Every structure is written in C-alpha cells, then in structure tokens.
Amino acid sequence: NNGPDRDRQLSPAFNRISGACGFTVVPEVSGSGQHLQKMGDPVNSATNTNGFHKTNGTNGNHHQEELKIAIIGQSNFAAEVLELLLEREHIVVGVFTIADKGNREDVLATTARQHGIPVFKFTAWRRKGVPIPEVLEQYRSVGANLNVLPFCSQFIPMEVIDGAAFGSICYHPSILPLHRGASAIAWTLIEGDERAGFTIFWADDGLDTGPILLQKQCPVYGDDTLDTLYKRFLYPEGVTAMAESVDMIAAGTAPKIPQTEIGASYDPALFREENQYLDLNQPALRIFNFIRGLDSVPGALATVEMDDGLQVPVRLYGASLSARRNLSNGKPIRFKGAAGPAFVAREGIFLTGTDGSLVRVKRLKRGNRVIPAGQWFEQVETKQAPLELSDKEQEQDALLRGIWKSILKVEIETETDFFACGAGSMDVVRLVEEVKDTLEVPISNETLFMAPSYGEFLQEVILRLRTGGSDRGSDRDGSDYKHVLLKANRRQIRVPTQMFVNGRFVDAEGGKVLPIVNPTNEQVICEVACASKGDVNNAVNAADEAFRGVWTSVSARERGQLMYKLADLMEQHKEELATIESIDSGAVYTLALKTHVGMSIDAWRYYAGWADKIEGTTIPVNPARPNHVLTFTKKEPIGVCALITPWNYPLMMLSWKMAACIAAGNTVVIKPAQVCPLTALKFAELTVRAGFPPGVINIVTGSGSLAGQALADHPAVRKLGFTGSTPIGKRIMASCADSNIKKCSMELGGKSPLVIFADCDLEKAVRLGMSSVFFNKGENCIAAGRLFVEDRIHDEFVRKVVKGIKTMKIGDPLDRATAHGPQNHRAHFEKLQEYCALGLKEGATLVCGGRRVPSLAGFFFEPTVFTDVEDHMYIAQEESFGPIMVISKFHASDFDALVARANSTEYGLASGVFTKDIQKALLFAEKVEAGTVFVNTYNKTDVAAPFGGFKQSGFGKDLGKEALNEYLRTKCVTVEY
C-alpha cells in the first residue's frame, strides 16, 4: 500500500475497491516499485471439456475433502465476504490482513476475531521480491486449500497462490478483459461505457488475465459516479458473488473460462498523480466523464492560475453536463492549459469543452479543504482566526478531543488529520453520531470532509454550537453586515439594513437605498437597501437552487426542528423584536410584545409540529381485472414561494405565511412592507442562527411597484401569498396569471360588520366594540369597519364609547401606559384625514376625534367616532384602516334586513355579533358572508384557527391546518401490479 491517503477515505466505496483485484504498488520491492504483479495459477487443477474447473472428485459435484478457506485482504468488503461465507457454513481457517495503523486494526481482523478465527497481520509478504520465510510458515500453518482474495492491497507471493490445492480467486471491478488494471471502475466511467460490472477470476501470473469464474453486469446511468456504481452494484453484488463462487468451487461446478484478448485494455493506474490531471481541451462529455470517474477519490486534478501568477492545484468533484448557455452572472477563472473559458457562478464552476458545451463542477478541494465551487472567490483567501473558547467551550473541546482519541487511538493535536490517521467510512459514521449525541450539535459526514483536521473540526463544531445551526456557511454567523444601532427601551439593538439573499446580507444593485421613518417623531431611523428587478431575480434563483438542492436533504422532522429552534430564538429576543416593531411601525410596545411578536412565535411553533405530519391518502379505485391497482396521493411542496406582506403587523404577517410555507417544504422570497422592514431583517439574522441553509429564506426590501411586481412576474416563483389592499391584489392576480399561472392566495381589504343587539352584555360590548376598531391603532385587517347598534341602546353605547376614549393614553408607543400610538406612515395618516372630511361632507355626525393629536409630533390621529351613517355613504362602504368607528342604527324587527345591510359591501373578511340569544347568534353566523365570525367576542384569533376572507376580501387561508394546503400540491400516483 502506498500509505494513508486522506482522499481515499472521503469515499469508503473506493477505499474498499482500490486494489480489490489483487495487486498493488510495493515501494520496497527493488526495481519494481511502480509495476503491478498478479498472483499465479492454482495447482492441482484441471479443466474438463465443458470449461468447468473440476477438482479431485470423479463427477465434479463434490470434493474428496472439504474446503479450508484462507481470506487474504482487508476492509469492509472482505469482512462482509467472511461473514457471508460463515453463514453458508464454509470453513475459514485463517484471515490474513494488513498490520495495525497505530492502535487501530482493520475491520476484517476485528470481524475474524469475533468469530474465533486465527488472524495474521503482515506489513509485507515479501522482502526485496523474495517471500519472507516466517510469513510463508504462518500461512501454511492454517492448512488452507482455497485462497479467497476479496480485497488485497499487498503483493502475495506465488508460493501462496500456488499453495492452495483448489486455487485462488480474485474480485475485479470490470467486465474482463475490458479495463485490466488497478483503476478499472474509474476507467469504466472515463471511457463512457454503457455497462459496468465485475469479474471473479482465477489468479494467474498476468495482469488480470486469469480464467473467468463468474461475471455480473449493470447499466451505467448518466448521473453515476465511482461511488454510486460501487455502492449500488459492485459492492453488494460483489460480496454475494464471492460467496457464490466459493459455493460453486465446493460443488465442483466452478467454470474456468479462458479470457479472450479481443477488447482487452490496459488502462493507466489512477493512483499515480500524473494520471489524475484533467485534459480541459476535449469535448464537454469527455471532461464530465473524467471528473466523475475520479469522484470522490482521488478527484480530478487541475491547476488554477491566479491573477498574481500563483498556480493553485485543485481537485474537482460533483460534475454534471450543464444545459446552460448564458453565463452573464459568472466571474472568469483561469485553468492552466485550458483553451476555452471557465466561470465561477453561484451554482459552481463552469468549464467549457471544445464543442462549446459546459460542464458544471459543484465542489473542489484546495489543500485539504473541500469547498463549494461557487464560493471559490469568497473562500480562496479566507482564513479563519482561531476561536477564543469560553470555559464551557473548553469543556466541549475536551469531550470532542476524547471522541477523536477513542476512535483514532492517537494523541490529538490541532493539526491531527482524521483521515491521515487511517480512519475509514465506519469511523466517520461513528464520529458524527458520537459528536451529535454528546454535544447535541447537528453535523453530517460532509462537515468532517470539509474540516478534516481536529482544529478545523473543533472550530466548525463550536461555531455551530454558538449559532445553534446546521451546515453553517462561511461568514454565516450573522455578524458581518451593515446595520443601524437602535438605542431605545433601555436597549442597544443591532438591526441589519441590507437585503438577505442566499444566507448573506447584501446591498441592492447600485447601492440604492430608501429611508425608513420613525412614525413617533417623523425622524429617519436609517436607510435600507432598495431592491431592483435584478436583486429579486438573484433572490429567486437562490431560493430555487436551495429548493432543488440543500433543502431536499433536510427531512421533514429536521425541518420542524429548525423551526422550533427559530421560535426559541425569537422567544429569547422577543423584547428586541417588539422594540423594533414599536420604533419602525408605531405599534404599542405591550401589544407588540403580546401579539405582534407573541403570535409570531406561536405560529412558528404550531407549524413546526405540522412539518412531519403532512400526509397523502390511499384511494380505492376500480382496477381492470385481473390486475391490481394501488392509487395514492402525495402532498408535495410547490417550490419557490413569494410572500408580500403589509405594514400593520410586519413580523406577524411574515410569520403567519412563512411558517406554513416552510413547514410544507418550500423555499421563500419575502418582500416586507416598504415603510417598515426592520423586524423582517432582524428575523433574517435569527434564521442564520437557527441554522436554516442559505437560500431557503430570502428577504428583499424595496417598493411594491418594483420588487413586489418583479416577484409576481417571475417565472420561477410558483406560489404568491399576498396581504394588502384589494386594488393591489387585483393587479397581482393579473400578473400571476400572465406570468406562469402561479398559484396565489389573497388576504385583502375588509369592511367587517359588528352587530350589537340590545340584549347583549353592554359593558362587554362597549369594551370589545372599542377594541374591534381601535386595536393596533385601527390598523387591523379585521377591524370592525361598521358597527350596527340596536336603536334601543344606541345612545348609551355611544356615550360609553366616548367616555372610554377619553381615558385612552395616546403617546410614545414604548411607554408601558400608552394605549394608542402613531399611525404607521405619513401617506396613511393623510388618507385618514381625507376619509373623515368625506364622512362629514356626506352628512355623518362626527362625535369626537377626526383630526391630528395637536400636542404631539409624529403621525398621531385621534380615536374617532361617526354616527348617523347611512348605507350609501363612502365611509359605510370602504374601510379606513384606522381608528375610526362608524356607527349605524338598526331596528330589531327585521333580522333579514339587518343581515342584508351587513352583507351589502364587496368585502367579507370578518364579522361579529353580540347577543345573549343563541338563535340570533347562530343565524347571523350562518347568513353573514364573512370568513370569520365572532360571537360575543372580537379579535380573538389563534394560530390553529384558519383565517381568510370571502368576496373581494380575498381567498385562501392563513393559519390552521388549512393554510398548509396553500403551499402544497397534490400528486396522484397509480401503480398497476
């Protein structure tokens, strides 16, 4: 063996197969250190006329003596062959394998000892080309009469091969005589063969030229790599075939078919570095085949020429033939010897073949680190400074160091390389599982592959523990972004001001920004990025790539765990989020804490529980006899979803929609309201800390007319969820239809009726009637847009409402005593003034309010009450979306006429009724045209209860189980059997 090779350990499959055909490089052999040798022809055998290898028996069906097998090899492949032979009751008299690496023995030796089989470990079988006498003596001591070599990386002397009375059989990973040599499986792919396979052959003194005992074949698929071929077929079928071969030898029926030289090939050994270099001046298909033939071990070699003249060797992995022709977003990269151009794009590195077609490379290795190829320019100069560990982290370091030591059996230093110490695939599995169990940190095999030294691995684990994340990308700790420092509420809160795309905070194209104004004092808080159409396209592309890539590897249960983690982080930072919401949108802090933030957290936890409970159904259908038919449905995510949310509940509307969207398995691009995006950007930081992979959640800030419209028009967006005004909803629906008929759900305007009968609990009706209008400054989609108060209690109801308004404290939303804060932004504030003026003009009576609060800066509007409102008036038909109570009288004698008045608008979002008469309450609930009906209460929503409107208030649901359907598609599968 040519010594420990970390690259080989990246692919357990290749580690098991390299050398499996019974030869290897032997550096210590004088004069032959770079050549290959085969075992010799077995003695005491003859070939009968039908080509079967016949033993000493007279009829070829049994032996005069039973087989006594020596297994010569190593690795999991050999260990599984051993166990299968024992299951079939063959006698294994000895196992011969490689010497221990440090304190670690090969798995074949461990398996043999567990079964009480003698184990012999040799560093070498020959010295200077001559068999070592004591090694031969130990081999002969077991009395073997058949040698089985399922994996052998040492020179085996001819005296051993010839010493087995019934011969020596070897495994070779090709359909001999094609691809003779050490790298057969790789050359199967490199040459573009349509079929692969393996051969069990009788050893001779040629290069894989011995007679054939057994062969099996499989197709080569377009996405096969060295690993997939081996894992799918060559490994499992190879183990079985070795046992079948021994069975045939035991029965005296083993064929011995001479190999033909027709089609024979002798391919260069790819363990030699000079043979691993990729020729970039050939057609794309040849480039692709060469890379996948060396994937993932040892990797195709190429050299990057840097701008400063430095030449950097890299290894390429994860190739695919690309259908792309336009690389306008790619950044040039130069490869030594390449005539065609190459580019680095977000999806990877693209190489151009001589035929003009492109090959995409997903990963590359520089030095001993594997990185995403698309991050070449970001990571090529990156060098992380060592972490300063806290006391707790030093304890975690000790635990981690102990796990490494228990596996590797060596003292662990910072530079200790896991694979260079001889670790194999099972060691990787053990390490990952022990670290996950001991430190409760989500890591994968890939984590170790990309951080193979102890120091790198420790740093990766500690950073994930700090952020609570999985698959932490470079610079994804949330600290490197432009921000504003809000000093309020006895806090200093760092809030991002850039967009969040593909796991990073980024500027808008051209550095364009827009001002964010504090509605309490009308001062500019900061400037945030203002997305262009190109920025939106980048965000959608990132979401699309994540949906088709990394997000598919996250199971439904893991998805729920990420959502729970995010909810926990929101809980930990709820005071910060509520403070931002108050400063940015004018929400009263106590309400923001309880509702804006509190219900957001509830939504993430509720849908986290749904993530692994999304199920299809089986359907009884009428099959065509005599066949049977199974028909079932699958609930699948739609893909990239766009969300456009309003300014009244910035974080809560985000959470209502996005939590269901993510639970269903989609990726998302959200455009928060232009005037108050800051809680959404702080939320983005928390998603990084929760461990959401890059691209799953993206946030573009900017105007609705540009960024929002770009989302509605984008062909890669398959679902759009919108909350906002009815006129804008109509425009978005048209865009969704024109672009790609994308699915959409709309929560639009409202003019919700609230009916108060004289037989109600009047005090409760007044209190909740006021809340139905003035809750959240009236900026509430289900606010009671028109109160119908029975004439018998009308005047008393109005008197009590006015009295209650006088007790409301209006002012700074961060003041804990404040009940009524400023309106969200200037344009809306001015609209409310116009609304009141129109009400007066049409003849309604202004009882109180209707103007700006005179003593306060900021967008403070007095709580307002109108009476004597007739059904034809503008303020009876259209919502104010502000603190304006519109009251109409009714007489209780005509219930149907009352319901007709309640239904006389084009809106149908919510409704309410106060009465002690259950019959009236239920009849109203039955006849009113609204998606939500409150009886003797109002504004009482819950994350488990579906929410959405009728008529021009929109369609589709937020919240509850029903909301999941907005982000799922149903696939029907029918199987005939």
**pLDDT over threshold 70, residue 41:** no
Cα–Cα distance, 929 to 895 (Å, whole number): 15
**Phi and psi dihedrals of 603, rounded to 5?**
-65, -45
Chain centroid to Cα 391, Å, comes to 32
Is 706 annotated to bind ligand? yes
Identify the band that residue 53 occupies on the pLDDT scale cut at 50, 70 and 90: very low
CA angle 320/326/330 to nearest 5° reads 80
Bin 606: left if φ > 0, else alpha if -120 < ψ < 50, else beta: alpha
584 is in an annotated binding site: no
pLDDT score at 479? 52
- Is the predicted pLDDT of residue 18 greater than 60, yes or no? no
Has 330 been labeled as part of a binding site?
no
Cβ 760 vs Cβ 936: under 8 Å: yes
Would the annotation count 704 as a binding residue?
Answer: yes
pLDDT at 542 over 90: yes
Q: What was the pLDDT predicted at 467? A: 59
Buried b (16+ CB within 10 A) or exposed e, 782-792: bbbbbbbbbee
Residue 833 among known ligand-binding residues: no
Asked if residue 372 belongs to a known ligand binding site, the reply is no
Residue 34, pLDDT > 60, answer no
Instruction: Identify the pLDDT of residue 455.
Output: 86
How confident is residue 108, by pLDDT bands cut at 50, 70 and 90? very high
Span 649-679, pLDDT tens digits: 999 999 999 999 999 999 999 999 999 999 9
**CATH architecture of the domain with range 391-466:** Orthogonal Bundle (1.10)
The residues, ordered by sequence, that sit 6+ positions from 626 with a Cβ below 8 Å of its Cβ are none
342-359 residue pLDDT tens: 999 878 999 999 999 999
At position 619, the amino acid (one-letter code) is I
**Confidence check: pLDDT of 45 > 50:** no
pLDDT tens across 66-79, in order?
Answer: 899 999 999 889 99
Q: Is residue 750 part of an annotated ligand binding site?
A: no
Catalytically active residues are: 172, 747, 781
Query: Is-contact 729 746, C-beta < 8 A?
Result: yes
When comparing pLDDT for 467 and 728, which is higher?
728
Cα–Cα dist 599/291, whole Å? 51
pLDDT cut 70: percent of the chain above it: 91
The pLDDT confidence band at residue 928, using thresholds 50, 70 and 90, is very high
Average pLDDT over residues 294-314: 90
Residue 724, annotated ligand binder? yes
Tally of CB atoms within 10 A around 337? 12
Predicted confidence (pLDDT) at residue 197 exceeds the cutoff of 60 = yes
- Give yes or no for a cis peptide into 177 (omega within 30° of 0): yes
- The answer to whether 493 is a known ligand-binding residue is no
Q: Is 752 within any annotated ligand binding site?
A: no
Banded pLDDT at 372 (limits 50, 70, 90): confident
Per-residue confidence band for 967, with pLDDT thresholds at 50, 70 and 90: very high
141-177 tens-digit pLDDT: 999 999 999 988 788 898 998 889 999 999 999 999 9
Confidence of residue 328 (pLDDT cuts 50, 70, 90): low
What integer pLDDT is reported at residue 54 of this predicted model? 38
Any idea which fold 489-747 has? Aldehyde Dehydrogenase; Chain A, domain 1 (3.40.605)
Q: Is 674 annotated as ligand-binding? A: yes
Report the candidate in 707, 626, 624, 696 with the shortest Cα–Cα distance to residue 671. Answer: 707
Q: What dotted CATH number matches 273-375?
A: 3.10.25.10
Q: Residue 48's pLDDT is what? A: 33
Q: What is the mean pLDDT of the chain?
A: 88
pTM for the full predicted model = 0.69
- pLDDT the model gives residue 367: 79
Amino acid at 748: L
- For the segment 386-411, the average pLDDT, to the nearest whole number, is 86
Of 26-35, 393-402, 824-833, minimum mean pLDDT range:
26-35
pLDDT at 773 over 70: yes
User: In sequence order, which residues have a C-beta less than 8 Å from that of residue 956 and are 6 or more positions away?
Assistant: 721, 744, 745, 746, 747, 948, 966
**pLDDT above 90 (res 214):** yes
Task: Confirm or deny that 678 is annotated as ligand binding.
Answer: no
Scored b (16 or more CB within 10 A) or e, 121-134 reads: ebebbbeeeebbee
Q: Is 138 annotated as a binding residue?
A: no
377 Cβ contact list (under 8 Å, min separation 6): 331, 344
| pLDDT grade for 320, boundaries at 50, 70 and 90 | very high
Give me the residue spans of the domains in the chain: 68-251, 273-375, 391-466, 489-747, 753-948
- Looking at residue 468, what is its pLDDT? 54
The reported pLDDT for the residue numbered 385 is 57
Q: Residue 238 pLDDT more than 50?
A: yes
Q: How far apart are the first and last CA of the chain?
A: 51
Residue 382 pLDDT: 47
The pLDDT of residue 395 is above 50: yes
> Does the structure show a pLDDT above 60 at 475?
no
How much is the pLDDT for 571?
97
Annotated binding residue 672: yes
What is the pLDDT at residue 309? 87
Answer whether residue 474 shows pLDDT above 70: no
| 868 three-state secondary structure | coil
753-948 under CATH 3.40.309.10, yes or no: yes
Q: What is the per-residue pLDDT for 10? A: 24
Confidence band of 27 (pLDDT split at 50, 70, 90): very low
Q: Say what the pLDDT of residue 22 is.
A: 32
How many CA atoms are closer than 13 Å to the CA of 854, on its beta-carbon side? 2
State yes or no: pLDDT of 50 exceeds 60: no
Q: Pick the residue with more confidence: 57 or 27?
A: 57
**725 assigned ligand-binding residue:** yes
Q: Domain 68-251 is classified in which CATH homologous superfamily? A: Formyl transferase, N-terminal domain (3.40.50.170)
State how far the Cα of 744 lies from the Cα of 738, in Å rounded to an integer: 13
* pLDDT over 50 at 453, yes or no: yes
693 carries a ligand binding annotation: no
pLDDT over threshold 50, residue 181: yes
Report whether pLDDT(61) > 60.
Answer: no
Confidence band, pLDDT 50/70/90 cuts, at residue 476: very low
